[in-house]
Structure 1
Amino acid sequence: MQTLDAAASLAATAPASAIDSLPWLAAALADDRAADRFAAWGRSTVIDENVGAAVLPRALFDELHRRAGLEATWPVGNAGVLHVYGYLLSSTPTPYGLKRERWLSGELERACGLPDGALLPWAGSQTLLSRTTAAASTLLARADSVAEMVDGRAARIAFGPPLADGTAALAYAVDDSIVTMFPVADPAALRDGLGTPRLRWNAA
Protein backbone atom coordinates (compact mmCIF):
# COMPACT_ATOMS: atom_id res chain seq x y z
CA MET A 1 0.00 0.00 0.00
CA GLN A 2 2.80 2.43 0.81
CA THR A 3 4.36 1.78 -2.59
CA LEU A 4 1.04 2.40 -4.33
CA ASP A 5 0.45 5.53 -2.28
CA ALA A 6 3.87 6.86 -3.25
CA ALA A 7 3.23 6.10 -6.92
CA ALA A 8 -0.21 7.73 -6.75
CA SER A 9 1.31 10.88 -5.26
CA LEU A 10 3.90 11.00 -8.03
CA ALA A 11 1.38 10.31 -10.80
CA ALA A 12 -0.09 13.81 -11.02
CA THR A 13 3.23 15.43 -11.94
CA ALA A 14 5.40 12.58 -13.20
CA PRO A 15 3.13 9.77 -14.43
CA ALA A 16 5.83 7.92 -16.36
CA SER A 17 8.02 7.82 -13.25
CA ALA A 18 5.05 6.70 -11.18
CA ILE A 19 4.39 3.73 -13.47
CA ASP A 20 8.07 2.87 -13.74
CA SER A 21 8.31 2.82 -9.94
CA LEU A 22 6.06 -0.26 -10.10
CA PRO A 23 7.91 -2.63 -12.46
CA TRP A 24 5.05 -5.15 -12.47
CA LEU A 25 2.66 -2.44 -13.68
CA ALA A 26 4.92 -1.24 -16.48
CA ALA A 27 5.47 -4.85 -17.58
CA ALA A 28 1.74 -5.64 -17.46
CA LEU A 29 0.82 -2.68 -19.63
CA ALA A 30 3.42 -3.69 -22.20
CA ASP A 31 2.34 -7.33 -22.16
CA ASP A 32 -1.37 -6.51 -22.47
CA ARG A 33 -0.64 -4.10 -25.31
CA ALA A 34 1.34 -6.73 -27.21
CA ALA A 35 -1.45 -9.29 -26.73
CA ASP A 36 -4.22 -6.79 -27.64
CA ARG A 37 -6.07 -7.58 -24.40
CA PHE A 38 -7.53 -4.09 -24.04
CA ALA A 39 -9.76 -4.84 -27.03
CA ALA A 40 -12.07 -6.89 -24.78
CA TRP A 41 -12.90 -3.78 -22.77
CA GLY A 42 -15.31 -0.96 -23.54
CA ARG A 43 -15.27 2.74 -22.81
CA SER A 44 -15.44 4.50 -19.49
CA THR A 45 -15.27 8.02 -18.17
CA VAL A 46 -12.75 8.87 -15.49
CA ILE A 47 -15.37 11.18 -13.91
CA ASP A 48 -16.82 9.02 -11.16
CA GLU A 49 -20.61 9.12 -10.87
CA ASN A 50 -20.47 8.96 -7.07
CA VAL A 51 -18.07 11.84 -6.46
CA GLY A 52 -18.68 13.92 -9.60
CA ALA A 53 -14.97 14.42 -10.18
CA ALA A 54 -12.06 12.72 -11.91
CA VAL A 55 -10.54 9.90 -9.90
CA LEU A 56 -7.26 10.10 -11.85
CA PRO A 57 -5.13 13.06 -12.86
CA ARG A 58 -5.17 13.81 -16.56
CA ALA A 59 -1.43 13.29 -16.93
CA LEU A 60 -1.77 9.74 -15.63
CA PHE A 61 -4.81 9.10 -17.85
CA ASP A 62 -2.76 10.09 -20.88
CA GLU A 63 0.34 8.11 -19.90
CA LEU A 64 -1.60 4.92 -19.18
CA HIS A 65 -3.27 5.05 -22.58
CA ARG A 66 0.02 5.84 -24.29
CA ARG A 67 1.59 2.74 -22.76
CA ALA A 68 -1.44 0.68 -23.69
CA GLY A 69 -1.08 1.85 -27.30
CA LEU A 70 -4.55 3.38 -27.31
CA GLU A 71 -5.89 6.77 -28.28
CA ALA A 72 -8.21 8.37 -25.76
CA THR A 73 -9.71 11.81 -25.35
CA TRP A 74 -10.09 12.99 -21.78
CA PRO A 75 -12.18 12.10 -19.84
CA VAL A 76 -13.29 8.98 -21.77
CA GLY A 77 -10.89 6.12 -22.21
CA ASN A 78 -10.53 2.37 -22.25
CA ALA A 79 -12.29 0.75 -19.30
CA GLY A 80 -9.58 -1.85 -18.86
CA VAL A 81 -6.90 0.81 -18.69
CA LEU A 82 -8.90 2.87 -16.20
CA HIS A 83 -10.72 0.36 -14.00
CA VAL A 84 -7.99 -2.25 -13.80
CA TYR A 85 -4.75 -0.26 -13.80
CA GLY A 86 -5.73 3.38 -13.33
CA TYR A 87 -7.75 2.68 -10.21
CA LEU A 88 -4.64 1.22 -8.56
CA LEU A 89 -3.14 4.71 -8.57
CA SER A 90 -6.29 6.61 -7.61
CA SER A 91 -6.19 8.43 -4.29
CA THR A 92 -9.69 9.92 -4.60
CA PRO A 93 -11.98 8.76 -1.77
CA THR A 94 -15.40 7.43 -2.74
CA PRO A 95 -18.38 6.29 -0.64
CA TYR A 96 -17.00 2.76 -1.06
CA GLY A 97 -13.39 3.56 -0.21
CA LEU A 98 -10.47 3.80 -2.60
CA LYS A 99 -10.99 2.31 -6.05
CA ARG A 100 -7.94 0.07 -5.67
CA GLU A 101 -9.48 -1.87 -2.78
CA ARG A 102 -11.27 -4.24 -5.14
CA TRP A 103 -7.87 -5.56 -6.19
CA LEU A 104 -6.23 -5.56 -2.77
CA SER A 105 -8.79 -6.62 -0.18
CA GLY A 106 -9.33 -10.18 -1.42
CA GLU A 107 -13.11 -9.71 -1.34
CA LEU A 108 -13.57 -9.79 -5.11
CA GLU A 109 -11.46 -12.85 -5.71
CA ARG A 110 -13.30 -14.74 -2.96
CA ALA A 111 -16.65 -13.69 -4.46
CA CYS A 112 -15.44 -15.08 -7.79
CA GLY A 113 -14.54 -18.39 -6.18
CA LEU A 114 -10.85 -17.82 -6.87
CA PRO A 115 -7.92 -18.71 -4.59
CA ASP A 116 -6.55 -16.13 -2.18
CA GLY A 117 -4.30 -13.67 -4.00
CA ALA A 118 -5.67 -14.58 -7.44
CA LEU A 119 -6.44 -10.94 -8.27
CA LEU A 120 -3.53 -9.26 -6.55
CA PRO A 121 -2.06 -6.92 -9.18
CA TRP A 122 1.48 -8.24 -8.94
CA ALA A 123 0.67 -11.93 -8.40
CA GLY A 124 1.07 -14.87 -10.74
CA SER A 125 2.42 -15.22 -14.25
CA GLN A 126 -0.53 -13.52 -15.99
CA THR A 127 -1.30 -9.81 -15.94
CA LEU A 128 -4.08 -8.43 -13.78
CA LEU A 129 -6.00 -7.48 -16.92
CA SER A 130 -5.77 -11.03 -18.26
CA ARG A 131 -6.99 -12.54 -14.98
CA THR A 132 -9.77 -9.98 -14.61
CA THR A 133 -10.95 -10.45 -18.18
CA ALA A 134 -11.26 -14.19 -17.60
CA ALA A 135 -13.15 -13.75 -14.32
CA ALA A 136 -15.51 -11.11 -15.72
CA SER A 137 -16.19 -13.14 -18.86
CA THR A 138 -17.15 -16.14 -16.74
CA LEU A 139 -19.67 -14.03 -14.82
CA LEU A 140 -21.10 -12.38 -17.92
CA ALA A 141 -21.77 -15.79 -19.46
CA ARG A 142 -24.24 -16.63 -16.70
CA ALA A 143 -27.78 -17.25 -17.91
CA ASP A 144 -29.27 -15.26 -15.02
CA SER A 145 -27.54 -11.99 -15.88
CA VAL A 146 -29.66 -8.85 -16.31
CA ALA A 147 -29.98 -7.53 -19.87
CA GLU A 148 -30.75 -3.87 -20.58
CA MET A 149 -31.11 -1.74 -23.69
CA VAL A 150 -29.84 1.83 -23.41
CA ASP A 151 -30.31 4.01 -26.50
CA GLY A 152 -29.87 1.02 -28.77
CA ARG A 153 -26.89 -0.33 -26.84
CA ALA A 154 -27.03 -3.74 -25.18
CA ALA A 155 -25.81 -3.86 -21.59
CA ARG A 156 -25.45 -6.84 -19.28
CA ILE A 157 -25.15 -6.99 -15.48
CA ALA A 158 -24.00 -10.30 -14.04
CA PHE A 159 -23.88 -11.41 -10.41
CA GLY A 160 -21.98 -14.38 -9.09
CA PRO A 161 -23.30 -16.69 -6.37
CA PRO A 162 -23.27 -14.88 -3.01
CA LEU A 163 -20.86 -15.90 -0.28
CA ALA A 164 -22.05 -16.81 3.21
CA ASP A 165 -21.93 -13.13 4.22
CA GLY A 166 -24.02 -12.14 1.18
CA THR A 167 -21.19 -10.58 -0.84
CA ALA A 168 -21.20 -11.33 -4.57
CA ALA A 169 -19.07 -10.41 -7.56
CA LEU A 170 -20.58 -8.13 -10.19
CA ALA A 171 -19.46 -7.73 -13.80
CA TYR A 172 -20.85 -5.20 -16.25
CA ALA A 173 -20.56 -5.05 -20.03
CA VAL A 174 -21.87 -2.78 -22.78
CA ASP A 175 -22.02 -3.91 -26.41
CA ASP A 176 -20.29 -7.16 -25.37
CA SER A 177 -17.30 -5.22 -24.04
CA ILE A 178 -16.38 -5.42 -20.36
CA VAL A 179 -16.67 -2.18 -18.43
CA THR A 180 -16.06 -3.06 -14.80
CA MET A 181 -16.02 -5.66 -12.07
CA PHE A 182 -16.31 -5.27 -8.31
CA PRO A 183 -17.77 -6.91 -5.18
CA VAL A 184 -21.21 -5.91 -3.88
CA ALA A 185 -22.39 -6.40 -0.31
CA ASP A 186 -26.09 -6.85 -1.12
CA PRO A 187 -26.59 -8.05 -4.70
CA ALA A 188 -30.31 -8.70 -4.24
CA ALA A 189 -30.96 -5.11 -3.16
CA LEU A 190 -28.83 -3.75 -5.99
CA ARG A 191 -30.63 -5.91 -8.53
CA ASP A 192 -34.06 -4.92 -7.22
CA GLY A 193 -33.14 -1.23 -7.23
CA LEU A 194 -31.71 -0.94 -10.74
CA GLY A 195 -34.64 1.13 -11.98
CA THR A 196 -34.71 2.61 -15.47
CA PRO A 197 -32.02 1.21 -17.79
CA ARG A 198 -29.04 3.55 -18.20
CA LEU A 199 -25.31 3.33 -18.67
CA ARG A 200 -23.92 2.41 -15.27
CA TRP A 201 -20.69 2.43 -13.29
CA ASN A 202 -19.01 5.11 -15.39
CA ALA A 203 -19.57 3.39 -18.73
CA ALA A 204 -19.44 5.72 -21.73
Structure 2
Amino acid sequence: MTSSAALDAAAARALSDPAAAISSLPWLSTALADDAAAGRFAAWGRSSVIDENVAAAVLARPLFDELHARAGLEASWPVGNAGVLHVYGYLLSTTPTPYGLKRERWLTGELERACGLDAGAFVPWVGTQTLLSRATAAASVLLARPDALTEEAEGRTARIALGAPLPEGTAALAYAVDGLLVTMFPVADPAALRAGLGAPRLRWNAV
Protein backbone atom coordinates (compact mmCIF):
# COMPACT_ATOMS: atom_id res chain seq x y z
CA MET A 1 0.00 0.00 0.00
CA THR A 2 1.39 3.43 -0.94
CA SER A 3 1.68 6.12 1.71
CA SER A 4 -1.21 8.05 0.15
CA ALA A 5 -3.39 4.96 0.16
CA ALA A 6 -2.37 4.22 3.75
CA LEU A 7 -3.39 7.75 4.73
CA ASP A 8 -6.77 7.35 3.03
CA ALA A 9 -7.30 4.05 4.85
CA ALA A 10 -6.29 5.57 8.17
CA ALA A 11 -8.67 8.51 7.68
CA ALA A 12 -11.54 6.10 7.11
CA ARG A 13 -10.51 4.00 10.11
CA ALA A 14 -10.28 7.09 12.32
CA LEU A 15 -14.05 7.46 12.14
CA SER A 16 -14.45 4.37 14.33
CA ASP A 17 -11.05 3.76 15.96
CA PRO A 18 -8.84 6.86 16.02
CA ALA A 19 -6.12 5.31 18.18
CA ALA A 20 -5.66 2.41 15.78
CA ALA A 21 -5.80 4.77 12.81
CA ILE A 22 -2.95 6.91 14.12
CA SER A 23 -0.92 3.87 15.14
CA SER A 24 -1.32 2.46 11.63
CA LEU A 25 0.81 5.37 10.37
CA PRO A 26 4.17 5.10 12.18
CA TRP A 27 5.37 8.44 10.80
CA LEU A 28 2.30 10.16 12.28
CA SER A 29 2.49 8.66 15.75
CA THR A 30 6.24 9.37 15.82
CA ALA A 31 5.75 12.96 14.65
CA LEU A 32 3.16 13.68 17.34
CA ALA A 33 5.48 12.30 20.02
CA ASP A 34 8.52 14.16 18.68
CA ASP A 35 6.67 17.48 18.40
CA ALA A 36 5.25 17.07 21.90
CA ALA A 37 8.68 16.32 23.37
CA ALA A 38 10.21 19.32 21.59
CA GLY A 39 7.41 21.69 22.62
CA ARG A 40 6.67 22.63 19.01
CA PHE A 41 2.91 22.92 19.50
CA ALA A 42 3.54 26.00 21.67
CA ALA A 43 4.15 28.05 18.50
CA TRP A 44 0.53 27.50 17.46
CA GLY A 45 -2.59 29.19 18.78
CA ARG A 46 -6.17 28.01 19.21
CA SER A 47 -8.62 26.91 16.57
CA SER A 48 -12.12 25.51 16.40
CA VAL A 49 -12.67 22.17 14.73
CA ILE A 50 -15.97 23.62 13.45
CA ASP A 51 -15.09 24.82 9.97
CA GLU A 52 -16.57 28.20 9.04
CA ASN A 53 -17.10 27.14 5.41
CA VAL A 54 -19.22 24.08 6.14
CA ALA A 55 -20.53 24.97 9.63
CA ALA A 56 -19.66 21.47 10.81
CA ALA A 57 -16.85 19.66 12.58
CA VAL A 58 -14.15 18.44 10.21
CA LEU A 59 -12.97 15.88 12.80
CA ALA A 60 -15.01 13.64 15.06
CA ARG A 61 -14.59 14.24 18.77
CA PRO A 62 -12.84 10.90 19.52
CA LEU A 63 -10.16 11.73 16.93
CA PHE A 64 -9.88 15.30 18.27
CA ASP A 65 -9.32 13.90 21.77
CA GLU A 66 -6.84 11.22 20.66
CA LEU A 67 -4.69 13.68 18.71
CA HIS A 68 -4.47 16.09 21.63
CA ALA A 69 -3.70 13.28 24.06
CA ARG A 70 -0.80 12.13 21.89
CA ALA A 71 0.40 15.72 21.61
CA GLY A 72 0.37 15.97 25.41
CA LEU A 73 -2.10 18.85 25.33
CA GLU A 74 -5.37 19.56 27.09
CA ALA A 75 -8.20 20.71 24.85
CA SER A 76 -11.89 21.34 25.32
CA TRP A 77 -14.01 20.37 22.33
CA PRO A 78 -14.43 21.98 19.85
CA VAL A 79 -11.44 24.28 20.51
CA GLY A 80 -7.95 22.85 20.35
CA ASN A 81 -4.39 23.53 19.34
CA ALA A 82 -4.20 24.86 15.79
CA GLY A 83 -1.05 22.89 15.03
CA VAL A 84 -2.67 19.64 16.12
CA LEU A 85 -5.81 20.37 14.10
CA HIS A 86 -4.61 22.16 10.96
CA VAL A 87 -1.49 20.05 10.45
CA TYR A 88 -2.18 16.54 11.71
CA GLY A 89 -5.94 16.55 12.19
CA TYR A 90 -6.60 17.76 8.67
CA LEU A 91 -4.62 14.81 7.31
CA LEU A 92 -7.28 12.50 8.72
CA SER A 93 -10.35 14.62 7.95
CA THR A 94 -12.91 13.10 5.60
CA THR A 95 -15.27 16.10 5.62
CA PRO A 96 -15.60 17.67 2.16
CA THR A 97 -15.29 21.46 1.90
CA PRO A 98 -15.74 23.87 -1.03
CA TYR A 99 -11.96 23.59 -1.52
CA GLY A 100 -11.73 19.81 -1.30
CA LEU A 101 -10.44 17.73 1.58
CA LYS A 102 -8.39 19.58 4.18
CA ARG A 103 -5.42 17.24 3.73
CA GLU A 104 -4.91 18.29 0.12
CA ARG A 105 -2.94 21.39 1.12
CA TRP A 106 -0.16 19.12 2.38
CA LEU A 107 -0.28 16.57 -0.44
CA THR A 108 -0.80 18.26 -3.82
CA GLY A 109 2.51 20.14 -3.98
CA GLU A 110 0.79 23.46 -4.62
CA LEU A 111 1.53 24.95 -1.20
CA GLU A 112 5.18 23.94 -1.16
CA ARG A 113 5.71 25.43 -4.63
CA ALA A 114 3.99 28.65 -3.55
CA CYS A 115 6.38 28.78 -0.57
CA GLY A 116 9.35 28.42 -2.92
CA LEU A 117 10.24 25.02 -1.48
CA ASP A 118 11.44 21.85 -3.16
CA ALA A 119 8.99 19.24 -4.39
CA GLY A 120 7.86 17.02 -1.54
CA ALA A 121 8.66 19.60 1.14
CA PHE A 122 5.28 19.09 2.83
CA VAL A 123 4.74 15.40 2.14
CA PRO A 124 4.06 14.25 5.71
CA TRP A 125 5.97 10.96 5.61
CA VAL A 126 9.07 12.29 3.79
CA GLY A 127 12.22 13.73 5.35
CA THR A 128 13.75 13.83 8.81
CA GLN A 129 11.72 16.76 10.16
CA THR A 130 8.10 16.46 11.23
CA LEU A 131 5.41 18.09 9.12
CA LEU A 132 4.65 20.47 11.99
CA SER A 133 8.28 21.58 12.11
CA ARG A 134 8.35 22.20 8.35
CA ALA A 135 5.02 24.02 8.37
CA THR A 136 6.07 26.19 11.31
CA ALA A 137 9.25 27.26 9.52
CA ALA A 138 7.49 28.04 6.24
CA ALA A 139 4.63 29.94 7.88
CA SER A 140 7.06 31.97 9.97
CA VAL A 141 8.93 33.07 6.84
CA LEU A 142 5.68 34.22 5.25
CA LEU A 143 4.55 36.11 8.34
CA ALA A 144 7.85 37.99 8.46
CA ARG A 145 7.12 39.60 5.08
CA PRO A 146 6.95 43.41 5.30
CA ASP A 147 3.76 43.46 3.21
CA ALA A 148 1.81 41.24 5.62
CA LEU A 149 -1.49 42.73 6.80
CA THR A 150 -2.11 43.37 10.50
CA GLU A 151 -5.67 43.45 11.86
CA GLU A 152 -7.11 44.28 15.27
CA ALA A 153 -10.23 42.25 16.05
CA GLU A 154 -11.97 41.29 19.29
CA GLY A 155 -9.06 42.67 21.28
CA ARG A 156 -6.62 40.44 19.40
CA THR A 157 -3.90 41.20 16.86
CA ALA A 158 -3.87 39.07 13.75
CA ARG A 159 -1.46 38.93 10.83
CA ILE A 160 -2.25 37.76 7.30
CA ALA A 161 0.67 37.08 4.98
CA LEU A 162 0.57 36.20 1.29
CA GLY A 163 3.69 35.09 -0.52
CA ALA A 164 4.72 36.02 -4.04
CA PRO A 165 2.33 34.38 -6.50
CA LEU A 166 3.38 31.59 -8.83
CA PRO A 167 3.12 32.21 -12.59
CA GLU A 168 -0.38 30.70 -12.59
CA GLY A 169 -1.39 33.05 -9.75
CA THR A 170 -1.44 30.79 -6.68
CA ALA A 171 0.11 32.21 -3.50
CA ALA A 172 0.80 30.76 -0.06
CA LEU A 173 -1.10 32.25 2.87
CA ALA A 174 -0.13 32.13 6.54
CA TYR A 175 -2.24 33.43 9.41
CA ALA A 176 -1.36 34.11 13.03
CA VAL A 177 -3.19 35.58 16.02
CA ASP A 178 -1.31 37.26 18.87
CA GLY A 179 1.94 35.96 17.45
CA LEU A 180 0.81 32.32 17.38
CA LEU A 181 0.32 30.41 14.14
CA VAL A 182 -3.16 29.33 13.15
CA THR A 183 -3.05 28.04 9.59
CA MET A 184 -1.47 28.08 6.15
CA PHE A 185 -2.85 27.09 2.77
CA PRO A 186 -2.60 27.91 -0.94
CA VAL A 187 -4.78 30.68 -2.37
CA ALA A 188 -5.76 30.50 -6.04
CA ASP A 189 -6.55 34.23 -6.35
CA PRO A 190 -4.71 36.28 -3.72
CA ALA A 191 -5.94 39.61 -5.10
CA ALA A 192 -9.55 38.50 -4.75
CA LEU A 193 -8.88 37.28 -1.21
CA ARG A 194 -7.40 40.63 -0.20
CA ALA A 195 -10.29 42.52 -1.79
CA GLY A 196 -12.86 40.34 -0.03
CA LEU A 197 -11.48 40.46 3.50
CA GLY A 198 -14.00 43.04 4.70
CA ALA A 199 -14.02 44.21 8.30
CA PRO A 200 -11.36 42.80 10.64
CA ARG A 201 -12.38 39.60 12.45
CA LEU A 202 -10.84 36.35 13.57
CA ARG A 203 -10.54 34.18 10.48
CA TRP A 204 -9.99 30.63 9.29
CA ASN A 205 -11.40 29.00 12.43
CA ALA A 206 -9.14 30.90 14.84
CA VAL A 207 -10.45 31.29 18.38
TM over 0.5: yes
User: Equivalent residues in 2 for 1:37-116 (5 A)?
Assistant: 37-116=40-119
Secondary structure of 2:160's counterpart equals strand
Report the counterpart of residue 126 of structure 1 in structure 2. Answer: 129
Q: Distance in 2 between matches of 1:3 and 1:122?
A: 11
- Structure 1: 5+ residue runs without aligned partners? none
How far is the alpha carbon of 1:3 from its aligned partner?
1.3
Secondary structure of 1:170's counterpart equals strand
Report the counterpart of residue 5 of structure 2 in structure 1. Answer: 2
How far is the alpha carbon of 1:152 from its aligned partner?
1.3
Any idea what the Cα deviations from partners look like across 1:31-89, whole Å, max 9, x if unmatched?
A: 00000000000000000000010000100000000000000000000000000000000
**How large is the RMSD of aligned CA atoms in angstroms?**
0.6
User: How many equivalent residue pairs?
Assistant: 204
Secondary structure of 1:147's counterpart equals strand
Report the counterpart of residue 12 of structure 1 in structure 2. Answer: 15
Q: Which amino acid is 1:80 matched to?
A: G
What TM-score, normalized by structure 2, do the two folds share?
Answer: 0.98
Any idea what the Cα deviations from partners look like across 1:138-177, whole Å, max 9, x if unmatched?
A: 0000010010001110000000000000000000000000
Q: Distance in 1 between matches of 2:17 and 2:196?
A: 41
Q: Distance in 1 between matches of 2:64 and 2:9?
A: 17
Matched, 1:154 2:157: yes
Asked whether the equivalents of residues 41 and 177 of structure 1 are also in contact (C-alpha less than 8 Å), the reply is yes
Q: Distance in 1 between matches of 2:149 and 2:202?
A: 13
Any idea what the Cα deviations from partners look like across 1:100-133, whole Å, max 9, x if unmatched?
A: 0000000000000000000100111000000000
Specify which of 118, 125, 146 is matched with residue 143 of structure 1.
146
Q: Which amino acid is 2:198 matched to?
A: G
Matched, 1:30 2:36: no
Hey, which bits of structure 1, 4+ residues long, moved more than 4 A? none
Report the counterpart of residue 179 of structure 1 in structure 2. Answer: 182
Q: Distance in 2 between matches of 1:123 and 1:2?
A: 15
How far is the alpha carbon of 1:2 from its aligned partner?
2.1
